[in-house]
Structure 1
């Protein structure tokens, strides 16, 4: 029995863009289509789409050969505070480089990060220290039942959030959540490197993109290195921004 014809580059590209992803460069998709693992059998298009989607959402879109050369980017004056109001003229894919929860003070976030680092959680005014689980074969483990907490996990903040975005050309701009956008938030709700598409018509005011549900799509994704660096340096950055802080 003959194998069905292999999916073509055009078919894979169309399937990805139809799902809302930006158009990848042919050089990005070719290794997926011509993978050594696919030489003996023809993988279904759905498998190739899943692989390409995962790799694209984990990639740095500023690197050459990731997105098509025709990909739209920010206007050069997008961060100009002198421009009172403007709108984007095309859909622009970008990635998240930073996020700040404006509903919390910096000190509140610092305290939460400090407690998390120490393995503590709070229940009302009571501080609960989370101890490491003892080995299964230890005497304590056999004599003492595991301690469970009835306190519910804290709900993710609903913002609003201030986000640092970067387009495929490397240009950066801050964006402010004007109205609640689903899947937007601080890690782990939304990771650093998360891919976002700003829709045509998105408003820009005084150098800041205004985020609304109708003009922004959160695709997901994560750049491991950038995400780890952001998390590890978050507390120090917040402390450096406190009033009266001297470095």
Structure 2
């Protein structure tokens, strides 16, 4: 097969990336020699893709650190704290996870594979190259923990479309003309006030867990946007606790876990 066929079919390199690399001298090499995408490749050939230096990086944040769970030359796993946005936005230009990444890797653009809300804590995966980012898209299995209001006894699945709520830029709701969304949930423990729930998603809609659990009558603790109680928590209690994905280079299955410390502290204090 041709070099392009191999890279597209087996290494998940996008056509856009190939077009960009073809414009760079030495951007695509086979066995150390510049190659064209129409050239044939054989078993044992060594293909090298070289990206240009980043043109735009974020201002570095050096006044705080974020725990790193695992890191390779291709990706990095952070334990993102609640209250920290992933991306810079209005009002948050220099205090995001992207700025933390820029302090450690000023030569690289920040490429988060998925986004967590500002007040959602837990595992956040960032790629260190366009190739790794493209390879990992749609291949990351995420498990969440949420503390919801009320006593939830049974496991189940919520399949309900989600769309933007009328008159709001931020708020979402279940609506028939929304995009399909599927959430699986399993209660783990209760204390009569809250229930700790494990959740996995088949889709990745904005605020999906928060909207679906609220529609079921169990809004997240601290989630004022969707009706959660703020009696014990000042932010919505949602945490990405586990991820699994194939390594872009080796294909090895990578797994990582991270405890929901705020929730564990609550149950410990309640002696549940």
- TM-score with structure 1 length normalisation? 0.25
Q: Which has the higher helix share?
A: 1
Between Structure 1 and Structure 2, whose CA radius of gyration is higher? Answer: 1
